[in-house]
Amino acid sequence: MSHVILACSVVIAQVFLVVAMWLAMVRMFRGPRAQDRVLALDALYVCSMLLLMVFGIRSGHTIYFEASLIIGMLGFVSTVALAKFLMRGEVIE
């Protein structure tokens, strides 16, 4: 019984995270300004990192952990670079 609950909650968590990624994507396309899009991209990175961790629980492989660590690091670096660009480069909309 408890294993059915576990399987259900893994599926629920995956659905929640995918919906959250979809909402972040809505915000990324809707904008309205560049900082909103960068923040949405950062949130998208975090969601995909967590989704990979849930995949790891579902499949039982720890290899997903390393993938999510790399996604987290790349997301951090790219968001910092984009924020620096917004601040220093004179972006014209």
Partner 1 sequence: MSTIEHAAELPAWAALVVSVFLVLGSGLVLMGMLGFVRLSTFYERIHAPTLGTSWGTGSIVIASMVFFSVLSTRPVVHEILIGIFVTVTTPVTLMLLARAALHRDRSEGNPEVPEDSPAEMPAEESGEPAGRA
User: Which residues sit at the interface with partner 1, rule CB under 8 A?
Assistant: 1-14, 16-17, 19-21, 23-24, 26-27, 33-36, 38-40, 42-43, 46-47, 49-50, 53-54, 56-60, 62, 65, 68-69, 72-73, 76, 79-80, 83-84, 86-87, 91
Residue 32 C-beta: closest distance to partner 1, Å: 9
Instruction: Classify burial at 8, counting beta carbons within 10 Å of its beta carbon; exposed 0-12, middle 13-18, buried 19 or more.
Output: exposed
Residue 55 C-beta: closest distance to partner 1, Å: 10
Residue 13 C-beta: closest distance to partner 1, Å: 4
CA triple 9-44-49, angle to 5 deg = 55
Based on DSSP, count helices (H) and strands (E) in the chain, helices before strands: 3, 0
